Each structure stands twice: as structure tokens, then as C-alpha cells.
Amino acid sequence: MQKVLVIKQVLVEGPGIIGMELLRLGLDMVVIEPYAGDSIPESLDGYGALILLGGPMSVYDESEFPYLTKELKLLALALKESVPVLGVCLGAQLLARAAGAKVYPGPVKEIGYYSVSVTDEGRDDTLMAGLSGELNVFQWHGDTFDLPEGATRIASSLAYKNQMFRVGSVAYGTQFHLEVTAEMVATWVESQRGEVESAGLDAEEILSASKGQLPFIHKNGAVIIKRFLELVGQ
């Protein structure tokens, strides 16, 4: 059975739909939690893919979270060895940094449900082919990044032009969350109401929007994740 290494950055941000798809496809998910003291491997031997989830810290907070440096080294190794990578939110920012791009605070926080546009190049991508040109997504971020040199921009939005990208042929980053469940959204919003309100947003509006938004996010997210996981072992 192929093993997929999942790096969980914080207690409340689990794999969600990613974990469900891994289970459905019969792949073995190995989750490590460096914030809780788990060691980050120096090699990807035995792993068919690397997935990095989101978290509230920033890529440039390495002095406070020194394990981020080890994650960057592991990402650089994955890029060198062409191991499939999926970086979500913070994971996407780490991938951009590992590929040589800058990561920095963005102009506005995005928290809640937004729309992103698939680019012309994105429509031809293996993960996105046949999906709608406009995707509903869930966001929770304040940082952004430059597109790494030679990378392909797959999705963008009015506020942030780099919402999804690909480095090489099998390393993907999504600024948005394609893995969220209703329970995850509720937990995040309830535990971080102060951050939501300080961004000028309404926590109750976000929660009430979940019923209408999440079915579309789940449908598209499952397709994208399934297609990514099909890269394992190729």
C-alpha cells in the first residue's frame, strides 16, 4: 500500500476531505504533528506523496516555529525528486518559498467563502480539467506569495492573483481550503471569532453560508484531491 505523508500544522486543521479520499482510494495516511513534537523526516523514502496542511503561523515565523525550516527542506527534496506535493494555505506558501518565491503579508484578510477563477493554463491542468471556470472556495489567510519562477498559475481572484499554482508537473499549492468540512469551518469560526470580527467580517454570516456553499466545495474538492492522489505511484 502506498503511503502518503501528511504534515498537520495545528490541532484544529486536520485533513478533512483529503483524509476521506485517501481512505476511499486505499492509500495509507501517515500524519505527523511537528507542533506537538513529532519529528519531520529528512527523507521521503517509502512515501508516494507529501501533503502540507494549513496553520495560523507564517512562513517567515521560522524563529518561533523552527520546524518550518525542516518542512522547507523536505519540500525542496520533494521538488528535486519529483514527489507529488499538495500544499494547502500555509502549505501552499511553504511550497512557494521552497520553490524560491517570496511570502509576505497580503493587502486584506480573506476569511469565509469566496470565488476564484481558473486561468486558461489551469483549464488544461490535470487536476482542473472539466471543472467550472469559477470555483467556490473557503479561505482563511492574510499572507500571500509571488508565483515561483517557471510555475504555472492555475487559479486567481480579484484580491489575490496567486490562489492555486503548480511547480513542475506534480507539485501543487492552493491558497484556499479545498479540504474543509462543516465541522471544521464551525470550529475555526467559533474559536477565532475575534480574528473574524477584527477583519470586519460577520462570523454568523460565514456560518450560515456553509449550508449553501459547502456542497459545491466538497464536490470540486473531492475531484481535485482524487486527481492529485492518482499521481501517487505514477
- Compute CA distances 124 → 20, 37, 86, 104, 206, whole Å: 26, 40, 18, 29, 32
Among the listed residues 13, 21, 71, 89, the single catalytic one is 89
- Whole-angstrom distance, CA of residue 176 vs CA of residue 16: 14
What is the DSSP annotation of 18-55? HHHHHHHTTPEEEEE-GGGTPPPPS--TTEEEEEE---
Active site residue 141: no
Q: Distance between CA atoms of 27 and 21, rounded to whole angstroms?
A: 9
Considering 13, 21, 179, 218, which one is annotated as catalytic? 179
54 neighbors 13 (Cβ within 8 angstroms): yes
Determine whether 179 is an active site residue.
yes
Residue 218: active-site member: no
**Residues tagged active-site:** 89, 177, 179
